[in-house]
Structure 1
């Protein structure tokens, strides 16, 4: 009876054998090791696909036990890591870099890959600890949210012990060679004996060699005749997603807004004196470096009280037919990075003092340089300040960051002669440029706003009374 039941069970397919009650009556699972079960998992897959014949399969008892154990464990042994959600407006990106490779062990939340989007770089982290088994995409491939990215075999431990044992195995190789020559206790190898002989022969030929090589200046003449204009090389590099997005938005701004720029100059003497007198005390007390951006940001928020249209925007179809006025000011601060210009946002700048603004700008700037900005850091923004003066710009016309209405451009501080109370004096001067959308702002309002900012900067005490 036992042999007939085994024969009947053997005729059944593998899936039927796994669910058969006879499987549960086989030998205990303790007799099957983890390694044998892993090896069987590959065998069972090949058997199901028809790659193995019935005669080449393992003994029936092993198949039944391993199949049952495999069903219990393999369902959660591997995990497919998918492309994570990035933002509502982002559905795809470019797989820029794999920081791990197949066979590497990763800890939970350890970074595995970086996906570049048109706004930010998204880090893909390991959901659990395990070993990378397979990668489903290559670098520079376009990946979509929810797409399979890699397979992770869960569990295990980092191969630290193997790395430590490797040098220990190599050490006993040295005495093994010495046993072959019992007569010599500490005889050096042949390579070490031959090395000094070569060194003695080496100094003999040098005097004759340079005499033959000196009268051969032919190569420079050939280069000058074949390439009379020097080297003319070209490189073509594919634009990254952020640069493509910047180009698209700037061109859209030029095509949509009726841009116009008005200029003014501001005497920075009073603000520079204030910063010089209090920057050390502020740094010691708060740990924040006092700069000029906080003063200009605060001055702009105060000037917007008199000219609220600067903080407004146009919305609606067909170019817009609705003006949106806001009672809050989210200032976008332009920060230059290696990949392009980004504009993280200082939220509710109208409620922050100098220290609060400087702290917020410093944190956003550091995140931008470390490629750690999130979508929330750059979303929104009602007004932009761009400081090209840090790069030495004397004057320029910034482009509006739609759907905003205006952008203020700051420039380099230069000592110039100016008329002060009928006398010519040398003062540190800066040019200001306000580019605005003429569809919403008239020239009078734009100039009024810029003059207000100028007055606040030239006499910072005015900001305490506004």
Structure 2
């Protein structure tokens, strides 16, 4: 009895249907296994490496680079190419069988979809002999040249260019200078960077963005962190950072000003009675914002563990789509890059500045805060009160304990 795959729906996820009109149900086989599995040719020797299923919301990607070259030996499930998506994730194309890469049927920079052929693998092929055995290399190095060639080399001394001549050549004013265009490199924009650019432009076109600033004295919070950092690590196994303190402060401020946690949907306002805070994390591929769920039910240790786990996944490129979707509020710590202004709730550099405290001029560690918000929904009054609550809680963390 022959089986036939059902037509693939939009979104790239293979599905199978019950036996109707020539389509048959395949039991106990996952869609990922079938979609990423390659099939042998008629002679049984050649197999195809294809693009695997890339996720529910990812329909295509860019073939970024090959990890192998034709003639290389590969093992089963060994990555041979990488696909860059418009998410933070990078997808590996793996060899379905052990063998030798006969040829690539796609090129770097191609837009590929799940199931697209990338390479042909020969299970019985022999790898290219491009390397010399170590013992042969040692023997060649230790073998002296023939007498005639040796004398020929010794009779002609090497040409030495004086440092004065070399220096004068480099500093010669008559030496032609390269035009600016000849000193530039043009490379394709990565898909993740392209998606970020598009989303930022969409946001600019849709929202009426406004930014309000305030500053906060970090003295008491930094002292609290210094006093209890060792006990915190000993009990919870994670360090007490500034980010968890600001997450707790943001939770308090969002509860005091719930409009900041709301969103416009058409002609309606959606008030969200939960607080999922996105925390911006910088990676080599760009800025990503994984979400810490239900932060209003977390303590400092829970938040620190959540941040560490998501930051590790972001660095390794292992974040799932679900872990980056659905945040109700975002905190960006631009201070780690020395920034003085940012977006959403921006935490910025801590700088020692003179301030007036009880009539005296003192030097205090000060941080700028910036709240960027949709002015269609949030008035300046709510924004100011929100930042004021952040300031009050950070400057006197005891307020969190007493809920005042």
Q: TM-score range by the shorter chain?
A: 0.7 to 0.9
Verify: 1:261 aligned to 2:211, yes or no: yes
RMSD: 3.6
What residue in structure 1 maps to residue 358 of structure 2?
Answer: 421
Find the partner of 1:145 among 94, 110, 114: 114
State the TM-score, normalized to the length of structure 2. 0.77
CA–CA distance in 2 between the matches of 1:261 and 1:213?
A: 58
Runs of 4+ more than 6 Å apart? 156-159, 162-165, 209-213, 228-232
Verify: 1:380 aligned to 2:303, yes or no: no
What residue in structure 2 maps to residue 36 of structure 1?
Answer: none
Q: For 1:2-50, what per-residue CA distance to the aligned partner results, in whole angstroms no more than 9, with x for missing partners?
A: xxxxxxxxxxxxxxxxxxxxxxxxxxxxxxxxxxxxxxxxxxxxxxxxx
Against the structure 1 CA distance between its residues 357 and 193, is the aligned structure 2 distance closer, same or farther, given a 3 Å change threshold?
farther
Verify: 1:246 aligned to 2:191, yes or no: no
What residue in structure 2 maps to residue 52 of structure 1?
Answer: none
Find the partner of 1:307 among 257, 266, 281: 257
Verify: 1:360 aligned to 2:293, yes or no: no
Q: For 1:394-424, what per-residue CA distance to the aligned partner results, in whole angstroms no more than 9, with x for missing partners?
A: x3241xxxxxxxx200110011111222222
Instruction: Kindly report which structure 2 residues correspond to 1:48-447, keeping only aligned pairs within 5 A, or say none.
Output: 74=42, 78-126=46-94, 128-131=96-99, 132-153=101-122, 191=145, 219-220=169-170, 222-224=172-174, 226-227=176-177, 233-315=183-265, 320-393=266-339, 395-398=340-343, 407-447=344-384
Matched residue SS, 1:261: strand
How far off its partner does 1:297 sit? 0.7
Q: Is the 8 A contact 1:261 1:397 kept in 2?
A: no
Which structure: larger Rg? 1
Q: For 1:318-365, what per-residue CA distance to the aligned partner results, in whole angstroms no more than 9, with x for missing partners?
A: xx2122222222211112223222111112222222122122212222
Q: For 1:138-195, what per-residue CA distance to the aligned partner results, in whole angstroms no more than 9, with x for missing partners?
A: 11111122322333456x7998xx9999668x59x97xx9xxxxxxxxxx96517678
How far off its partner does 1:219 sit? 3.0
Instruction: Give 5+ residue unaligned stretches, structure 2.
Output: 1-39
CA–CA distance in 2 between the matches of 1:461 and 1:189?
A: 79
Against the structure 1 CA distance between its residues 125 and 444, is the aligned structure 2 distance closer, same or farther, given a 3 Å change threshold?
same
Matched residue SS, 1:238: coil
Q: Is the 8 A contact 2:47 2:97 kept in 1?
A: no
Matched residue SS, 1:91: coil
What residue in structure 1 maps to residue 6 of structure 2?
Answer: none
CA–CA distance in 2 between the matches of 1:164 and 1:228?
A: 39
Q: Is the 8 A contact 1:91 1:144 kept in 2?
A: yes
CA–CA distance in 1 between the matches of 2:400 and 2:105?
A: 58
State the TM-score, normalized to the length of structure 1. 0.68
How far off its partner does 1:430 sit? 0.5
CA–CA distance in 1 between the matches of 2:305 and 2:330?
A: 18
Matched residue SS, 2:183: coil
Q: Is the 8 A contact 2:348 2:369 kept in 1?
A: yes
Q: Is the 8 A contact 2:214 2:387 kept in 1?
A: yes
Q: Is the 8 A contact 1:111 1:126 kept in 2?
A: yes
Matched residue SS, 1:435: strand
